[in-house]
Amino acid sequence: MGRGVPLGVGFVVGGHELLYPVGTGGMAQVWAARRCSGQLDMLVALKIILPELRGDTDYERMFLDEANLAARIAHPNVAQIFDFGDQDGLLYQVMEWVDGEPLSVLGCATLLAWPVSACIVAQACMGLHAAHEVRSPDGAPVHLVHRDVSPQNLLVGYDGIVKVIDFGIAKAVSNSARTRFDHIKGKVSYMAPEQIRREPIDRRTDVFALGVVLYRLLTGRHPFRGADDWSTLQRIASRCPALPPRRLLPQLPSSLSDIVMSAIAKDPDRRFATMAELARALDAAIPSAHRASPDHVARVMRHALGEQRSSRRSAIERVVRSSDVTAGLATRSGLRRLVSDPAAAARRG
């Protein structure tokens, strides 16, 4: 695989066979993959730096920084990194396979009830809190900030469990200086005012971004949306607060509307100090009779996106069957374990 050569089904990277392309971002491509030896029925997500970026020192350093930071986070609401490495200059990360879709896809597919939205965001809170609490091997706080919290980076599983992903531009006090990337990082719509002004950031910067996510889920509108990215940046950076969600959704509990407004306060000191505080506030704001659980989220996922899930599973199964038949290894039970229960396969591995 020379520089710039595109990857394809059947390629082997880091001892894993590529099965199905999941998506491509600005720095990497993600594939569904399986081990080529040992435990054959383990499905993983393989994140591979784009071939055209091979040899680019800055991008490669960012990619490795992400792997080093994210691999330290052990929490059910963060997609786990099992391993990372370098194969002939092609950097890769072996990650937990999440049978789900980005929140951005779910939000486009269906209108979510506010208890379901709150459940999704509360789970994201706990994953991000675990990231914020990460410590270095010597026990010192890393002070990690995700900096790119958005619906695209929150995976909602068909089991109703939410996973935070993509720590590619996460910031830690231990990071070495960046020269080429010393500019505003993150998606414009979810940046906090201090990000835009290039002021010091901390975990409350992520609180702001997740507050914007929740506002959009509840109301269907962005709290600071302008005519273009520049106008949106100006509205976020200004002192003018957003319209309270309850003004747009009168049936929303006032306590939940107040939580959103605190999360997206322009002054960091007026926001929740931690993601754990935000999660507790969400739990307390919703009456037990209306509270949603991951099981509720799972039902919404299957109803809204079940066909998409089936299509992807079938595509992966066809590739696995073809590969195994060619190798004389076809086992129908193995296919079922691979596609329907990758988590169990991972535990056996």
Active site residues per annotation: 148
Return the closest-CA partner of residue 77 out of 173, 210, 247.
Answer: 210
Q: Residue 341: helix, strand or coil by DSSP?
A: coil
Cα distance between residue 320 and residue 260, in whole Å = 45
Looking only at the bridges linking them, the beta strands covering 90-96 and 154-157 are unpaired
Structure token pair of residue 199? 């002021």
What is each CA distance from 249 to 13, 168, 198, in whole angstroms? 49, 35, 34
**CA-CA-CA-CA dihedral for 17, 20, 23, 28, to nearest 10:** 10
How far is it, in rounded angstroms, from Cα 214 to Cα 46?
A: 29
Task: Point out which residues pair with 49 in neighbouring strands.
Answer: 28
Q: What residue type is 70 in one-letter code?
A: A
3-state helix, strand, coil in the chain (%, to 5): 45, 15, 40
CB 289 within 8 A of CB 308: no
Q: What's at 315, amino acid-wise? A: A
Q: What single-letter DSSP state applies at residue 171?
A: B
